[in-house]
Amino acid sequence: MTQNALPPFSLSQLTALDHNPPQLVGLAARTGYSHAGIRLLPAAPGGIAYPLMDDDALLAETLAVMADTGVRIFDLEMIRLDAGFDPARYGRFFEVGQRLGAQCILVAGDDGERARLIDAYGRLCEAARPYGLCCDLEFMPWTAVVGIGDAIEVVSAVRADNAGVLIDALHLDRSGGSATDIARVQREWLHYAQICDGPAERPTTPEGLIHAARCERLLPGEGAIDLDGIWRALPRELPVGVEVPNDIRAPQLGAEGWARAALEAARAIVSRAPTGKN
């Protein structure tokens, strides 16, 4: 990657959650993204997801649109680690991810028993490794992996070569972290980061945090999150997931208008960053 080149940008599923995988890939292609991330399993019970593991026709359509457009799949959402986690349940998930050429799985930690969570995460990494998939643990302030320090503790305990820490700018800010905390994350644990913005005023309840994260994100540069500081601290070549759901503004602009605006705003932030973390 040359000094002035920008990293790959991936259209995250949450930015256009109503688009199924082939539709999302097509949207990414039309609006300038090189990659897309797709949600195969719901973020919450009953939530929207597109289980390609159970729909061969939709999987074939997704692969066909990828071939036609050149857009690749970057990450798969999402596997949640709860008290009863069993990696054997996810064999078909891994197989589909491999067929799609995905690189990473987004992982959430729900088990409040830290030793059991670490064990589950280690077993997930081991199960996903043969499929070429990294397991990126995303800290979120309403989960058992609240902040960046919790994610570092879990990943460092496992010591798997496909383990990682996913830094979402919103969650870093809302969990009380800052750009300076990124120096604590080993370079090999960073596979991608997610960009968006948010207002200076932070929600004070779990319900408020969840709603803001899923429904009210701002375009990069519109809010008060220190995105310039975060991207100065991250590797310049690190792929960027553009995750900017907004239930009011996205419909006003339309899916293409919102996805294009989100990409333009993300590129503006990343282009200002120097080489960054090595």
CATH code: domain of residue 15: 3.20.20.150
C-alpha Rg value of the chain to the nearest Å: 17
Per-residue pLDDT, 23: 98
| Domain assignment of residue 4, yes or no | no
Q: What tens digit of pLDDT does each residue of 29-75 get?
A: 999 999 999 999 999 999 999 999 999 999 999 999 999 999 999 99
Q: Which residue range forms the structural domain that includes residue 127?
A: 9-272
What's the whole-model pTM score? 0.95
Does a structural domain hold residue 40? Answer: yes
Q: 2 lies in a domain?
A: no
Per-residue model confidence (pLDDT) at position 5: 87
Given a cut of 70, the residues of the chain with pLDDT beneath it are 1-4, 275-278
pLDDT at 4: 61
In a domain, 103, yes or no: yes
* Contact criterion met (CB below 8 Å) for 135 and 162: yes
- Is 215 a member of any domain? yes
Query: Count of domains in the chain?
Result: 1
Q: Is there a domain that residue 84 lies in?
A: yes
SS3 178: coil
The whole-number pLDDT of residue 275 equals 54
277 domain-assigned = no
Strands (E), the chain: 9-11, 35-39, 72-81, 104-109, 134-138, 163-168, 193-195, 240-242
Residue 3 lies in a domain: no
